[in-house]
Structure 1
């Protein structure tokens, strides 16, 4: 399973067959790495949204791509808890707060010096002992990324062949 700081190296042994075209090879590898990163970002974000029944807008800021200039890229996925106010419009009910398809018993809505309607819950009988209600996404995010990691090499190879053909067509 993919851990919180997993690293994956792509199998690039098949690239040795293209060593005689170093400039074209570098362009195709760089572009393929970026596209593979973008594919993994899109597919995991969509899958996580479906799994948690939340919009991709709520978790969009949890995905960052780095390394656009070189031949390696990095996808950072924030797996800390998400504030439930990001799941949709919170609605106060008699017994708690409803946000999207989720219900949080005993919670209440209060902006608390924010422009968003934040969802809070009391931790004890003391009036000031409150905490923001959050949704844990770490287990689901790690499971989804782990499920797609075996496909990364296949996708990179597929994208590389497409990009390499494109680069070669431009040089002729």
Structure 2
């Protein structure tokens, strides 16, 4: 999932208004956009962590949020663009904090999975959080080892936290905030460029 924020019309209008000092304006635009990209990343991490009830550190360490600023000429584009990317696949429970087995389930970070248990699959480097499926039955599946269709299956499911709904809600809310913030930053940077810097 990503939000591609086009700032071109605003930037072009500002350049036209200050055509007598294009160098100062282009520097002000570049500074504003750099500050906007940092603001977007901080705001996105904070909102997403709050909605998901997990820490920002976890989201950052999993690489789930990326904000990139591209200048004219980058990515074969002619304009500035701010690209916000959120990895929207479900987050496995064992990434939310150190899994601790209790009598009633498993605790990972701020979450508790009632009835769950820790198990380390053969090909895994650490224990994961699983729970028995309520409605489970064998089914015909292709074996990864032999390649044959067999009557098999495990009555377990790996516990995960969905992020898609929260991510889309945060992105929709963020779009108007970013445009407002960009206008404020441009005002500050133009004031600095024409009144303080010179």
Q: TM-score range by the shorter chain?
A: 0.7 to 0.9
Q: Compared with structure 1, are the counterparts of its residues 56 and 118 closer, same or farther at alpha carbon in structure 2 (3 Å cutoff)?
A: same
Query: What is the alpha-carbon root mean square deviation over aligned residues?
Result: 2.6
Alpha-carbon separation, structure 2, partners of 1:115 and 1:166: 53
Alpha-carbon separation, structure 2, partners of 1:131 and 1:30: 48
Three-state SS of the structure 2 residue aligned to 1:73 is strand
CA deviation after TM superposition for structure 1 residue 159, in Å: 0.9
CA deviation after TM superposition for structure 1 residue 110, in Å: 2.9
CA deviation after TM superposition for structure 1 residue 45, in Å: 0.9
Alpha-carbon separation, structure 2, partners of 1:107 and 1:156: 46
Q: Compared with structure 1, are the counterparts of its residues 165 and 115 closer, same or farther at alpha carbon in structure 2 (3 Å cutoff)?
A: farther
CA deviation after TM superposition for structure 1 residue 24, in Å: 1.8
CA deviation after TM superposition for structure 1 residue 64, in Å: 1.0
Alpha-carbon separation, structure 1, partners of 2:190 and 2:127: 50
> Is residue 118 of structure 2 the alignment partner of residue 121 of structure 1?
no
CA deviation after TM superposition for structure 1 residue 134, in Å: 0.9
Aligned to 1:84: 93
Alpha-carbon separation, structure 1, partners of 2:18 and 2:188: 14
TM-score (norm 1): 0.81
Aligned to 2:143: none
Q: Compared with structure 1, are the counterparts of its residues 131 and 140 closer, same or farther at alpha carbon in structure 2 (3 Å cutoff)?
A: same
CA deviation after TM superposition for structure 1 residue 6, in Å: 4.0
Higher helix proportion, which one?
1
Alpha-carbon separation, structure 1, partners of 2:59 and 2:153: 29
Three-state SS of the structure 2 residue aligned to 1:7 is strand
Higher relative contact order (CA 8 A, sep 6+): 1
Three-state SS of the structure 2 residue aligned to 1:151 is helix
> Is residue 167 of structure 2 the alignment partner of residue 141 of structure 1?
yes
Higher strand proportion, which one?
2
Alpha-carbon separation, structure 1, partners of 2:20 and 2:165: 45
What residue ranges of structure 2 are gaps of 5+ in the alignment? 73-79, 139-151
CA contact (8 A) 1:121 1:132 kept: yes
Aligned to 1:98: 107
TM-score (norm 2): 0.72
Alpha-carbon separation, structure 1, partners of 2:30 and 2:117: 49
What residue ranges of structure 1 are gaps of 5+ in the alignment? none
